[in-house]
Amino acid sequence: MNQPSKASIFFCILFLAILVPSLLMQLKIDSKNIQSDFLPSPFSDHLPRHYLCPWTDTEIQIDGALTDPAWETTVWSEPFVDIEGDRKPLPKYPTKMKMLWNQNYLYIAAELTEPDLWATITKHDEVIFRDNDFEVFIDPDGDNFDYPELELNALNTTWDLLLPRPYKDGGQANNAFDIKGLKTAVKLNGTLNNPIDRDKSWTVEIAWPWSAFKQLTKVSLPPREQDLWRMNFSRVEWKLTVENNIYKKMPNLPESNWIWSPQGVIDMHRPEHWGYVEFTKKPISERAIHLDPYSRAKLFLHRVYYAQKKYYSQFHHFATSLGQLNIVLPAHANFFLSRFEASESQFRVEISCYHLHSWKHIQIDQQSHIVLAD
């Protein structure tokens, strides 16, 4: 192991001498504290799920059946859970997904156990979640901005849309957005819209071209080995009754939301809680999961973000220090606070992380936009 030079040690000491007093001022509790119930949920420290997505040399035939031999080379995800996580019971019916990728496509498969196959929407870009559906959310660069969403029902009717930023931050869905070259198919293991019998499941198969992401991100397309993308998958399930041999939604009852990586709240548009999908070309014997080295730092920034939003709702301006938010840096963190700027209507908070012999600086603002830079 190479020993640090005297010069590098000197500059580290000088850096800390300048930084520590600033940190202490930031951590000092301000006289205008917020109440304890303004702090974010403990779920803000929950690490999202992780899926290792292997390479395939083949082009998969998209027919919904999931019988292509390539699918045998990857594994199913964990069963989906309630959108709020462990605070709610496990879903009534199992759901799982799996993925592959090649030079041209991201492939997604899903199996949804369902005793009552039902779908009514037949027009593209209608609000598909008014039926039972399967949904995909993808943020390639993990910045919470410019992420596409795909929904489809058991009739293989699709709705593709783009969110410039989450709804909670003023984002408005772009329904004119189209995923060029998208292929989807479903297969029914039962009979659709027939309440007389009991069905088994429906399966979903998707080929999402890398070219459809070109206008949304600057990350490598297709991904590189060990690249991490943020994704989530959701299933909307309505409670049904039967009237005159026709399925009807039970009135005045909300839908169930069963998803891969839990959100902590009933809102799929919290990209910081989406799972990590890691891409690999390595054979099974050499595959290993590589966690995002900055995941804890990003979760901390989102904790600050939510505290700032709650602070603003009480005082009508943003806090100017961590102390005003009653937040301190976690013990043994591999990052430190390097910037805290706020005005009446805006804020920007930056933390710096040291990983693999280099510094990364990560920022968040009042719109939850994450920026990572050297």
Please determine, for residue 352, whether its predicted confidence score (pLDDT) is greater than 80: yes
Position 337, amino acid: L
Q: How far apart are CA 349 and CA 278, in angstroms?
A: 28
Percent above pLDDT 90 for the chain: 84
Tokens 């840096």 sit at which residue? 329
Q: What is the pLDDT of residue 1?
A: 45
Q: For 291-306, write each residue's pLDDT tens digit.
A: 999 999 999 999 999 9
Q: What is the pLDDT of residue 355?
A: 85
Q: Could you write out the three-class secondary structure of 135-188?
A: EEEEECCCCCCCEEEEEECCCCCEEEEEECCCHHHCCCCECCCCCCCCEEEEEE
Top pLDDT among 370 and 15 is at: 370
Position 236, amino acid: V
DSSP bridge pairs for 54: 280
Q: What is the pLDDT of residue 22?
A: 37
Top pLDDT among 23 and 294 is at: 294
Please determine, for residue 50, whether its predicted confidence score (pLDDT) is greater than 80: yes
Q: What is the pLDDT of residue 316?
A: 97
Query: Residue 64 — very low, low, confident or very high, per pLDDT cuts 50/70/90?
Result: very high
Q: How far apart are CA 191 and CA 247, in angstroms?
A: 13
Helix, strand, or coil (residue 272): helix
Q: How large is the average pLDDT for residues 214-239?
A: 97
Q: What is the pLDDT of residue 80?
A: 98
Q: What is the pLDDT of residue 333?
A: 87
Q: How large is the average pLDDT for residues 113-137?
A: 98
User: The pTM is what?
Assistant: 0.88
Weakest-pLDDT range from 11-15, 46-50, 241-245:
11-15
The residues spanned by each domain of the chain are 24-43+293-373, 55-286
Q: What is the pLDDT of residue 356?
A: 85
What is the residue-averaged pLDDT of the chain?
90
Top pLDDT among 345 and 17 is at: 345
Please determine, for residue 14, whether its predicted confidence score (pLDDT) is greater than 50: no
- CATH fold group of domain 55-286: Immunoglobulin-like (2.60.40)
Query: Residue 45 — very low, low, confident or very high, per pLDDT cuts 50/70/90?
Result: low
Weakest-pLDDT range from 32-36, 42-46, 141-145:
32-36
Q: What is the pLDDT of residue 334?
A: 87
Q: What is the pLDDT of residue 17?
A: 39
Q: What is the pLDDT of residue 10?
A: 41
Q: For 67-124, write each residue's pLDDT tens digit.
A: 999 999 999 999 999 999 999 999 999 999 999 999 999 999 999 999 999 999 999 9
- The CA-based angle 230-277-174, given to 5 degrees, is 35
Q: What is the pLDDT of residue 89?
A: 96
Nearest to 257 by CA among 370, 92, 118, 66: 92
Q: How large is the average pLDDT for residues 175-189?
A: 98
Q: What is the pLDDT of residue 7?
A: 46
Q: For 234-271, write each residue's pLDDT tens digit.
A: 999 999 999 999 999 999 999 999 999 999 999 999 99
Q: What is the pLDDT of residue 261?
A: 98
Please determine, for residue 28, whether its predicted confidence score (pLDDT) is greater than 90: no
